[in-house]
Structure 1
């Protein structure tokens, strides 16, 4: 056996999983929450990351809840969104709605998250015409709709869910509003994207 073969053999032995290893075997307890505990964990983690959350009973309650947030934040009642069919039949009332990709300095944008992750309070946003990825980064205030039934426990279940259908071109994990402490180690929100992230969590 040559020196090269001996080295490669040692690498293979070192890289081989041990007998105790099993896929998913190292999942931490925080990524195995279930039921109401999973939802409460998601909300707590999202709020710890400076996101805000409103619980609503159904999608039909979204326009009123969004209008209330506009008033509370002293924002003009106008929002940019994609072509998500979930939003198509809603009565937006006095809210001015425009559709298409996000634009520079958009005051407010609205997306629908494919999933949420309780482990970190993250939103899982898939790109496409229904929810253009630019809405995630170009709005000053990003509103996101998430169904409680789509909240997963951790990374393992999120990736398993993504593999169930056609994979989108881009998947973004968003945890709270944009932030940076690059200058003087002082935390600044909105450094590279939205200054505020608000989640409308549907159901329980």
Structure 2
């Protein structure tokens, strides 16, 4: 082992936190090496810690009923606005009134689909476009997001690898962790300062 290697090893041992593993000369979060179930648990814990709420549904067909329950439990109208995503337009919404298009100011509730999520931080990754207009993410008072369990990645590295692999090229990728918040006013945390006051995530198992 060269003197350079010995020095680098000492630095790594002194500065590596418990949840980071060194691989191939670089730091890789340990979460990257966990399986899907562990990533799910980590994502839910981190998203909840960021003041989001999370529920799990078996499949997309279960979404309308689950959404109706959430709207009712939050004393919101039985109505939702979403984009042209085929995953939504193909559903039977039953008693939930739907409208399609961009987000509108003071919309009570909006619905988007996240392309990916990061277990490490509980962050959703949403791609802009007609299927999921970016305004739905920021203009609704309560933002509902659908996420496939299989799209939960470990962290940034996994997300951007998936973006490249899937050939995703939106104008913007929006990374959302919890509802909107700010502590700029009197150094007191305020939810809903610049966007939704509440964020609820439906994780679809299949």
Distance 1:154 1:177 in 2: 20
Pick one of 178, 192, 195 that aligns with 1:193. Answer: 195
Q: Report the 3-state secondary structure (helix = DSSP H, G, I; strand = E; otherwise coil) of the residue aligned with 1:26.
A: strand
Greater Cα radius of gyration, structure 1 or 2 = 1
Structure 1: which 4+ aligned runs deviate by more than 6 Å? Answer: 20-24
The aligned residue for residue 180 of structure 1 is 182
How many residue pairs get aligned? The number is 186
Q: Are 2:114 and 1:113 equivalent residues in the alignment?
A: yes
Q: Any unmatched runs of 5+ in structure 1?
A: 1-17
Compute the displacement of 1:32 (Å): 3.5
Q: Any unmatched runs of 5+ in structure 2?
A: 1-7, 13-21
Q: Report the 3-state secondary structure (helix = DSSP H, G, I; strand = E; otherwise coil) of the residue aligned with 1:143.
A: strand
The aligned residue for residue 70 of structure 2 is 69
Compute the displacement of 1:30 (Å): 3.2
Q: 1:203 to 1:67 in 2, by over 3 A?
A: same
Q: Report the 3-state secondary structure (helix = DSSP H, G, I; strand = E; otherwise coil) of the residue aligned with 1:92.
A: coil
Q: 1:61 to 1:182 in 2, by over 3 A?
A: same
Compute the displacement of 1:33 (Å): 2.7
| Residues 36 and 150, structure 2, Cα contact 8 Å, conserved in 1 | no
TM-score (norm 1): 0.87
Q: Are 2:131 and 1:127 equivalent residues in the alignment?
A: no
The aligned residue for residue 88 of structure 1 is 89
| Residues 109 and 139, structure 1, Cα contact 8 Å, conserved in 2 | yes
Moved more, 87-96 or 66-75: 87-96
The aligned residue for residue 137 of structure 1 is 138
Distance 1:25 1:110 in 2: 38
- Superposition pairs of residues 150-189 of structure 1, within 5 angstroms: 150-164=151-165, 165-189=167-191
TM-score (norm 2): 0.86
Q: 1:24 to 1:69 in 2, by over 3 A?
A: farther
| Residues 34 and 153, structure 1, Cα contact 8 Å, conserved in 2 | no
